[in-house]
């Protein structure tokens, strides 16, 4: 199996820094990279709606000189006929050199990577994680703040289902001096495994529902939308959807050099009037997504050509538990075994979606 990117922690800090360096070089000299992927094909398998992520992957491949094979959605793919993720990955490996996949099921990208014979990039798997958005965030923070260490990050909104938040916490936890302020309603706090990760790593964090109270001490404010598509109860979504709205008045509470990020799309959680504030970096962030995905595609294709193996994951236990997460890929994938990693303090965690058993 080829090296893939399923979670941002699949990359070492040194590899992240190298990707950022490549992206900065692409920005400085795009012509140098215009033909490095001549003859190569990227397959974009997007089984959920997407604008920025999908277009940035496709633009990235075209600007590297490659080609794109596109599946416009599950309704017009063999997934509508019941084809498994594993079989889809095996088939697409016959036609392309690399896959970027988005899927509504937590852990689907890992199943694809374990069955593909080409690299797989996780472009978002349910509410689990979104590593290329995190790489986009890291490049943006580096360009805006000139560093990734010693920062206080405020993460606001849907922290329970916000896969971009989970990935960003994993990545920024590895930089010295990072502090997190987790701003959400009680119902949308980060999952338990995220708190456990922060506690085990000794990363300082604060949990609050008060955006205005947190703003004065933030270096980075990361806004997220309340995601209608993740709620099984429509009434709960309606009750929580307007929990936070960032306005120019609230921006006055922030530091002069604070930056505002958002993975987009926004609905109403950032007023359009904030766009004129120079601290609003979310559209610059979207552009950075193309550059970092160019760097990542290039890295994985070069490693595939060199036949470098993928990094092995820890030993897991099969068949003793059943994942309780109804959104996990193990709930629907044909003959997929239930696999769990044992936890140091007892218990275990699903290999695919990271939910505790």
Q: Considering 286, 308, 337, which residue would you say is the last residue of a domain?
A: 286
- Here the tokens at position 45 are 């398998």
DSSP at 160: S
Which residue do the tokens 């360009």 mark?
A: 143
- Domain that residue 240 falls in: 131-286
The answer to whether residue 325 is domain-embedded is yes
pLDDT (0 to 100) of residue 312: 61
Query: C-alpha angle with apex 304: 9 to 29, nearest 5 degrees?
Result: 80
Q: According to the model, what pLDDT value does residue 161 have?
A: 81
Of 235, 267, 286, which residue sits at a domain end? 286
Residue 135 counted as domain residue:
yes
> Residue 22 domain-assigned?
no
Contact 64, 34 (CB under 8 A): yes
Which residue reads 């010693």 in tokens? 150
Q: What integer pLDDT is reported at residue 314 of this predicted model?
A: 64
| Domain membership flag for residue 99 | no
- Separation between Cα atoms, residue 183 and residue 197, nearest integer Å: 18
Residues 148 and 219 both lie in one domain: yes
Q: What is the CATH number of the domain that holds 148?
A: 3.40.50.1370
| Domain annotation covers residue 276 | yes
Query: Based on the domain organization, do 209 and 331 belong to the same domain?
Result: no
Same domain, 343 and 227: no
Output the pLDDT for position 354. Answer: 87
Tokens coding 252? 């006055």
Residue 199: what pLDDT?
93
The number of folded domains in the chain is: 2
Q: So what's the pLDDT on residue 273?
A: 98
**Given 286, 306, 338, which residue is the final one in a domain?**
286
Residues 257 and 210 placed together within one structural domain of the fold? yes
Long-range (24+ apart) CB contacts under 8 A made by 108-112 are: 108/329, 108/333, 108/352, 109/4, 109/6, 110/6, 110/329, 110/351, 110/352, 111/85, 111/86, 111/329, 111/333, 111/336, 111/352, 112/45, 112/85, 112/86, 112/88
What the block records as the tokens of 5 is 């990117």
d(CA 282, CA 342): 39
Other CB atoms closer than 10 Å to residue 287's CB: what's the count? 15
Are 138 and 275 found together in one domain?
yes
Chunked into runs of 10 residues, the chain (357 residues) has average pLDDT values of 88 96 98 98 94 95 97 60 90 98 95 96 90 97 98 94 87 96 89 88 95 97 75 56 85 98 91 98 98 98 84 66 90 91 82 85
According to the model, what pLDDT value does residue 197 have? 87
Same domain, 247 and 168: yes
Is 125 a domain residue? no
């Amino acid at each position: 199996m080829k090296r893939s990117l399923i979670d941002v922690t699949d990359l070492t800090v040194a590899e992240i820094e190298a990707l950022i360096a490549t992206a900065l070089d692409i920005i400085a000299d795009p012509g140098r990279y215009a033909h490095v992927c001549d003859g190569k094909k990227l397959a974009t398998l997007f089984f959920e709606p997407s604008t920025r992520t999908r277009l940035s992957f496709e633009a990235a491949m075209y600007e590297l000189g490659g080609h794109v094979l596109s599946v416009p959605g599950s309704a017009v793919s063999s997934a509508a006929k019941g084809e498994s993720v594993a079989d889809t990955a095996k088939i697409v490996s016959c036609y392309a050199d690399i896959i970027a996949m988005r899927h509504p099921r937590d852990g689907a990208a890992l199943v694809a990577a374990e069955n593909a014979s080409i690299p797989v990039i996780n472009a978002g798997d349910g509410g689990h994680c979104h590593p290329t958005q995190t790489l986009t965030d890291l490049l943006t923070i580096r360009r805006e703040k000139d560093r990734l260490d010693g920062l206080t990050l405020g993460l606001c909104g849907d922290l329970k289902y916000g896969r971009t938040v989970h990935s960003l916490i994993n990545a920024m936890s590895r930089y010295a001096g990072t502090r997190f302020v987790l701003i959400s309603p009680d119902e949308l706090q980060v999952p338990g495994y995220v708190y456990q990760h922060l506690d085990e790593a000794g990363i300082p964090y604060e949990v609050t529902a008060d955006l205005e109270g947190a703003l004065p001490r933030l270096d980075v404010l990361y806004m997220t939308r309340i995601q209608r598509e993740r709620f099984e109860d429509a009434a709960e979504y309606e009750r929580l959807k307007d929990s936070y709205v960032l306005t120019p008045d609230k921006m006055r509470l922030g530091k002069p050099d604070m930056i505002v990020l958002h993975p987009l799309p926004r609905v109403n959680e950032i007023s359009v009037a904030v766009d004129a504030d120079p601290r609003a970096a979310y559209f610059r962030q979207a552009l950075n997504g193309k550059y970092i995905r160019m760097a990542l595609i290039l890295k994985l294709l070069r490693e595939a050509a060199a036949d470098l193996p993928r990094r092995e994951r820890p030993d897991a236990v099969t068949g003793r538990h059943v994942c309780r997460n109804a959104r996990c890929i193990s709930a629907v994938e044909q003959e997929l075994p239930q696999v769990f990693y044992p936890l140091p303090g007892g218990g275990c965690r699903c290999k695919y979606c990271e939910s505790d058993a």
